[in-house]
Structure 1
Amino acid sequence: MSNFESPIEGWELNAPANCCNWLGVVCDSSSSLGLSDGPSSSGRVVELVLASKMHAGNLSDSIGKLDQLRFLNLSHNLLESTLPESLLHLPNLQVLDLSYNEFSGPVPKSANQPSLRVFNISKNSFSGSLPVWLCTNSTLIQVLNLALNHFSDVIPPGLGNCGSMQNLSLATNNLTGGISEDIFTLGQLVQLNVQENSFSGPLGSGIGNLTELIRLDISANEFSGSIPDVFQNMKKLQFFIAQTNGFAGSIPSSLSNLPPLKFLNLNNHSLTGTIILNCSAMSGLVSLDLGSNNFRGPFPENLPDFQKLKSVNLARNKFTTPIPQSFKNFSSLAYLSISNSSLSNVSSALGILQHCSNLTVLVLTLNYFDEELPGDASLSFPKLKVLIMANSRLGGSMPKWLRGCTRLQLLDLSWNRLGGTTPSWIGDFQSLFYVDLSKNSFVGEIPKEITGLPALIHRNMSIMEPSPDFPFFWKKNKTSGVFRYTQFTSFPSTVDLGGNSLNGSIWPEFGNLKMFTLNLSYNNLSGSIPSSLARHRL
């Protein structure tokens, strides 16, 4: 490792003469390796682990001399330049992990590693064609991770030679064309991740041949046409993540009746028809995302029959009926987003959804236009942590039932027509770190109690994040148009009361809050800006 920019800890000049005693080095005796080219007690390096040490520099060609090396892990460092060809000619190497470095250039085509089982070069800057030639002489590979690089062009034929492949990740590159047909011959494949490329055209029906698949992620590509109706034999598939492509047509029957499925994400397509899912067949479904499509027709009434379903996103579709009464029995529901879905009768919706005993996140934005937000104090959402009912021109005042949402952490009622005074009990929420009441018609003074919100002082959050595939919404931003928060913890601590008719002065106590954003603009406030706010973003 002489090409490293700084000495390796434990490998200094005063280190033991025997390298087998150095940090990160494991040796076996020549006799245990069946070698006769040296003393039986002499050690040969079989493992080299120098991960997460902030090492910089490049790899020397001399690494090829470690011909008994079985395991090499140099991940999570700052290594750069191209790979030495000798590294890919180690005959006994079984695991090679160079992930999370800064290597670049093409992978040498002369690779010959007949013992290789794991090849991980993800999160680097490798470029050129996808190195399918690895499968020519390394047919025993089980894990091939080439994600987060700059590989380009179509997938050349060759990956089918790795008949033992179980985990293949080509995600986040610049690959084009379609998924090569020989990938569909990898009968032992358990995970296939090809998201965030530029794959296009129809998804090949050969995908149905991968009967051992547990996870399939084809999201953020340019696939088009219908989703092939070939899932009936994929009896182990638990995760199908396909958001942000160009699929059209309806959900295929073999997919909507697939028993093992737990996570189904078909967000952001042009899918049409009514939503029909077989709850008796898909009894294990946990997360359902059908948002941003062209589904029309009645709101699906049978979702409460999915007894494990926790996360539902049906936003940006066109429903012809309101939230059904059956949702009163939706006890597993924790996260619900149905924004921009042509819904009406907000009083009925809240009256029904309050019976969802585990509801934690509720997003109803861009619905119920020009209706009155019910203020009935008897409404109860005891576990609610996130409530977003923005951009709906809702009338009324600050609803009294909100006071009972004692676990509330994020509240957005912006861009409505709510009026009256802002109640002092807004300061009673122990966990509220984000409150947006902007673009309404609130009057009176800013309640001083809002300056004492504990979560804005300590930022102690406890939101359990939704599943990784649960999307959020586009939030308006005055300067850049829109931006997207993908997780609730990414929201900055905020008090936004701008665009109302508030009067009086600005409380100096706002300076005690560890806020990222305080917006009091476009009101009728008077007096000077307190000096305690100098360190805050206004």
Structure 2
Amino acid sequence: MCFSYKPKFCSKKVIYTEMVIVLEIWVLISVLLYSLQTQVLVISQNLICDANDLTGLTGFMNGLESPIDGWLFTNSSSLESSSCCNWIGITCNISLGRIVRLELPNKRLSGNLSDSVSYLDHLRAFNLSNNFLKGPLPVSLFHLTYLEEVDLSSNEFDEVLPVTVNLPALQVLDVSDNNLRGSLQIGLCANSTRIRVLSFGGNYFTGSIPLQFEACNFLEHLSAASNYISGVIPDFLLTLPRLRELALENNEFTAFANRISNVSSGLVRLDVSSNRISGNLPDFFYMFPNIHYFSAHSNNLSGTIPPSLSNSQNISYLNLRNNSFDGSINLNCSMMVNLTSLNLGSNNFSGTLPANLATCRNLKAINVAKNNLIGQIPESFKNLQSLSYFSISNCSFSNLSTSLKILQHCPNLTVLVFTMNFYTERLPSDHSNLLFKSLKALVIANCRLTGSIPYWLNGLTQLQLLDLSWNDLTGMVPAYIGDFKFLFYLDLSSNSLSGEMPKSLTRLQSLISTDISLEEPSPDFSFFIWRNTSAGSGLQYNQIMSFPPKLDLSGNHLTGPIWPEFGNLKKLHSLYLGHNNLSGSIPSSLSGMRNIEILDFSYNSLTGTIPPTLVRLSFLSRFSVAYNNLTGIIPSGGQFWTFPNSSFEGNPGLCGVFFNNCEKNQLLKPQLPSEMNDEFPILRLLVIIGFGTGFLLAVLSLIVVPGIRGARKQNG
């Protein structure tokens, strides 16, 4: 190298030599690294199974009902040749030469879990989730010294958890969604002091929360949801030092502990919904300064909302629906700055909607349905710029026109449910200039509203669900409804609408070919849709997208025909046209509604026959043409064998196998060629094949056979 203090005297040759040396060193290091990596890879690929591991895997395989793809066993005499570290789902530690991870989720495995897993004594992770394994859990699994993670969720394991547990390294145990029973294992945290996740949900566990769980000082997530655990929710469980999520919903708890400590908790999510908790909700939320999610719906809670909850700074999701809370709704929105979802439905709250609720500026979903609320929608609600879902159904609110004018200022409003309010008021007319740019679902049902369907609804270009049923609306069904590109659910039943059905309804794109996509603002908010049933009862849906694609115009005074173009609505599930004054025949083209499940044309003035083409509707489960003027033979085959006589009663001219007896001349009446073409394509094909075969045989007998005989004579 050039060590001169005067670089300019270093020759170019010396500098070039130095560069070559550096390059050679770099190449040598690269070669060595590549060689080392290759050797490690070869070692890992050729790593033979430890005898204990192979014994454990053999027993594991013998417990299954079918082999695992990629697992190949050699003869027992040559165990050293088995490279199980290359098998699917297996990870080995190269330095130890032992299996440390066995992970086979979602492999459709069935059978029992063998006790031979005890031979896998260096196992750190064991994951067999989402399979079909059954039987008891082996005791030996709960005595593996190095085991850190166990996931056996979503299988069919039954019986009880082992009584003794010795898993000193355990951090995660998930046995959710199985058929396990008995009490929760009391020794888990005593022997597994560093456990972070315990998930017992979706089983049949009984008893109470073990007192020994107080030792779970490292526990961050505990789920015992959807079991039969009862008793009191202990206070120590709420104050475990590292617990962040506690899921106790869908059990049989009856109360919170009477003694609540003053220790601050790190809980972020607490769910005690669907239990049997009664009495007042404890005023203990000051203990949970970080809580974001609290759900206690579907219990027997009463009294008022405790101050420590109504002043919670970090709460974002609050669900107290389906209880017996009473008094006024008193929330301090100046403190609840992070509240985004508020569900107080199905309680006994009274008074008016508080105007200060609008100061909860981040609110996206509000449900106060089925309470004793009165008055009007506060003017301040126009400031709820984030509001997406709003339901006040089954209350006693008034002044529909003003309510709509206020809420149209909420630019993100997507779902609006006004069912069973504003009794006998008039649906705002076209002069209201109402505009809801983002609205996708509008429900103003069972309000006995008067007036007609206004033209301002035409501006709801994003509308997917419209329900104005059980009102006293008059006039015609507007043709513009057929122009809604996204509408898949329309219910105008039980009104006094008249005139013909607009043919534009047969052009609803979402019922022809378009797939519907709606982002749910609050998936567990429910509201009621009223159907035209004899009892007048409603159906509850938890999500808008759980509504079946439907057209319901029943219970009106509509006249005219059933349009043949309804057959284009291939995605429609239900078509209700009963209890009207419709006339004409039932179009045979309705067989094009290949996803239809319900057809109701009862109580009209329809004539003609029931088209035999309807037997093609393989999903049809309910069908009624009762009380019309139909004649002829009831089609047989398909779903028609399953329909009761009440589906056809009130039509003296109808007959069928299980209905009125048909006369012989009706049964023997030849079908028209068009009917043959429509109904018997297979028979038509057989006739053509038979005719062709006969023609071919005739040609052979008249031409080919005499030729052969003549040739024979000449040869003779």
How far does the alpha carbon of each residue in 1:71-128 deviate from its partner, in whole angstroms, 9 at most, with x for none?
A: 1111011111110111111111110000111111101112211111000000111011
Contact preservation (8 Å) 2:148, 2:172: yes
Contact preservation (8 Å) 2:383, 2:409: yes
Aligned partner (choices 20, 28, 41) of residue 85 of structure 2: 20
Aligned partner (choices 530, 533, 553) of residue 497 of structure 1: 553
For 2:173 and 2:262, the matched residues in 1 are separated by: 26
Contact preservation (8 Å) 1:273, 1:296: yes
Deviates more, 1:111-120 or 1:148-157: 148-157
Q: Which residue of 2 aligns with 1:83?
A: 137
Residue 482 (structure 1) shift: 4.3
For 1:111 and 1:475, the matched residues in 2 are separated by: 54
Deviates more, 1:460-469 or 1:345-354: 460-469
- Pair 327,203 (structure 1): closer, same or farther in 2 beyond 3 Å: farther
1:4 aligns with 2:64: yes
Contact preservation (8 Å) 1:126, 1:151: yes
- Pair 279,490 (structure 1): closer, same or farther in 2 beyond 3 Å: same
1:527 aligns with 2:587: no
How far does the alpha carbon of each residue in 1:344-397 deviate from its partner, in whole angstroms, 9 at most, with x for none?
A: 111111111111111110000000011111123511111100001111111111
Instruction: Return the index of the structure with the highest Cα Rg.
Output: 2
1:485 aligns with 2:541: yes
How far does the alpha carbon of each residue in 1:285-331 deviate from its partner, in whole angstroms, 9 at most, with x for none?
A: 11011111111112110122111111000111122321011112221
2:147 is matched by which residue type in structure 1? L
Aligned partner (choices 554, 564, 568) of residue 512 of structure 1: 568
Contact preservation (8 Å) 1:102, 1:125: yes
Quick one: higher RCO (CA 8 Å, sep 6+), 1 or 2?
1
Residue 265 (structure 1) shift: 0.7
Matches within 5 A, 1:123-202: 123-202=177-256
Q: Which residue of 1 aligns with 2:94?
A: 29
Aligned partner (choices 258, 271, 276) of residue 217 of structure 1: 271
Contact preservation (8 Å) 1:243, 1:266: yes
For 1:489 and 1:339, the matched residues in 2 are separated by: 19
For 2:437 and 2:297, the matched residues in 1 are separated by: 32
Q: Which residue of 2 aligns with 1:294?
A: 348
For 2:544 and 2:457, the matched residues in 1 are separated by: 19
- Pair 55,204 (structure 1): closer, same or farther in 2 beyond 3 Å: farther
Q: Which residue of 1 aligns with 2:286?
A: 232
Q: Which residue of 2 aligns with 1:395?
A: 450
**Secondary structure of 1:10's partner?**
coil
Deviates more, 1:205-214 or 1:218-227: 205-214
For 2:407 and 2:155, the matched residues in 1 are separated by: 48
For 1:346 and 1:313, the matched residues in 2 are separated by: 18
Aligned partner (choices 502, 505, 521) of residue 466 of structure 1: 521
1:280 aligns with 2:334: yes
How far does the alpha carbon of each residue in 1:256-307 deviate from its partner, in whole angstroms, 9 at most, with x for none?
A: 1110110011111111111111112111111011111111112110122111
For 1:292 and 1:203, the matched residues in 2 are separated by: 26
How far does the alpha carbon of each residue in 1:185-232 deviate from its partner, in whole angstroms, 9 at most, with x for none?
A: 412110000001111134655387461000000001111111111111
Contact preservation (8 Å) 1:107, 1:126: yes
Residue 510 (structure 1) shift: 1.2
2:64 is matched by which residue type in structure 1? F
Q: Which residue of 1 aligns with 2:503?
A: 448
Richer in helix (by share): 2
For 1:464 and 1:369, the matched residues in 2 are separated by: 31
For 2:292 and 2:422, the matched residues in 1 are separated by: 35
For 1:474 and 1:405, the matched residues in 2 are separated by: 20
**Secondary structure of 1:220's partner?**
coil
Q: Which residue of 1 aligns with 2:384?
A: 330
Q: Which residue of 2 aligns with 1:34?
A: none
1:309 is matched by which residue type in structure 2? L
For 1:251 and 1:391, the matched residues in 2 are separated by: 31
2:82 is matched by which residue type in structure 1? A
Q: Which residue of 2 aligns with 1:110?
A: 164
1:367 aligns with 2:395: no
**Secondary structure of 1:419's partner?**
coil
Contact preservation (8 Å) 2:234, 2:257: no
For 2:258 and 2:400, the matched residues in 1 are separated by: 43
Contact preservation (8 Å) 2:298, 2:323: yes
Aligned partner (choices 144, 149, 154) of residue 95 of structure 1: 149
2:86 is matched by which residue type in structure 1? N
Moved over 6 A (4+): none
For 1:203 and 1:520, the matched residues in 2 are separated by: 56
Contact preservation (8 Å) 2:238, 2:267: no
Residue 233 (structure 1) shift: 3.0
For 1:490 and 1:365, the matched residues in 2 are separated by: 18
Residue 133 (structure 1) shift: 2.6
- Pair 286,14 (structure 1): closer, same or farther in 2 beyond 3 Å: farther
1:419 aligns with 2:484: no
- Pair 475,190 (structure 1): closer, same or farther in 2 beyond 3 Å: farther
Deviates more, 1:293-302 or 1:206-215: 206-215
Aligned partner (choices 439, 448, 473) of residue 494 of structure 2: 439
**Secondary structure of 2:369's partner?**
coil
Q: Which residue of 1 aligns with 2:8?
A: none
Q: Which residue of 2 aligns with 1:264?
A: 318
For 1:242 and 1:207, the matched residues in 2 are separated by: 21
For 2:70 and 2:534, the matched residues in 1 are separated by: 52
1:521 is matched by which residue type in structure 2? G
For 1:111 and 1:150, the matched residues in 2 are separated by: 20
**Secondary structure of 1:206's partner?**
coil
TM (norm. structure 2) is 0.71
**Secondary structure of 1:320's partner?**
strand
5+ long unaligned stretches in structure 2: 1-59, 76-80, 600-716
For 1:108 and 1:308, the matched residues in 2 are separated by: 48
- Pair 97,353 (structure 1): closer, same or farther in 2 beyond 3 Å: same
Contact preservation (8 Å) 1:186, 1:210: no
How far does the alpha carbon of each residue in 1:475-506 deviate from its partner, in whole angstroms, 9 at most, with x for none?
A: 44738954321111111111111111111111
Deviates more, 1:354-363 or 1:183-192: 183-192
Q: Which residue of 1 aligns with 2:406?
A: 352
**Secondary structure of 1:225's partner?**
strand
**Secondary structure of 2:397's partner?**
coil
Contact preservation (8 Å) 1:279, 1:305: yes
Q: Which residue of 2 aligns with 1:39?
A: none
Residue 149 (structure 1) shift: 0.5
Residue 462 (structure 1) shift: 2.3
5+ long unaligned stretches in structure 1: 32-42
For 1:297 and 1:374, the matched residues in 2 are separated by: 26
Residue 402 (structure 1) shift: 0.7
Aligned residue pairs, count: 527
For 1:368 and 1:190, the matched residues in 2 are separated by: 44
Residue 132 (structure 1) shift: 2.8
- Pair 207,323 (structure 1): closer, same or farther in 2 beyond 3 Å: farther
Aligned partner (choices 300, 307, 310) of residue 253 of structure 1: 307
Residue 400 (structure 1) shift: 1.3
For 2:530 and 2:243, the matched residues in 1 are separated by: 39
Deviates more, 1:342-351 or 1:197-206: 197-206
- Pair 482,208 (structure 1): closer, same or farther in 2 beyond 3 Å: farther
**Identity score, percent:** 50
Contact preservation (8 Å) 2:235, 2:256: no
For 1:94 and 1:108, the matched residues in 2 are separated by: 17
Deviates more, 1:387-396 or 1:7-16: 7-16
What is the RMSD of the two structures over their aligned residues, measured on CA atoms?
1.8
Contact preservation (8 Å) 1:117, 1:140: yes
- Pair 305,182 (structure 1): closer, same or farther in 2 beyond 3 Å: closer
Residue 29 (structure 1) shift: 2.7
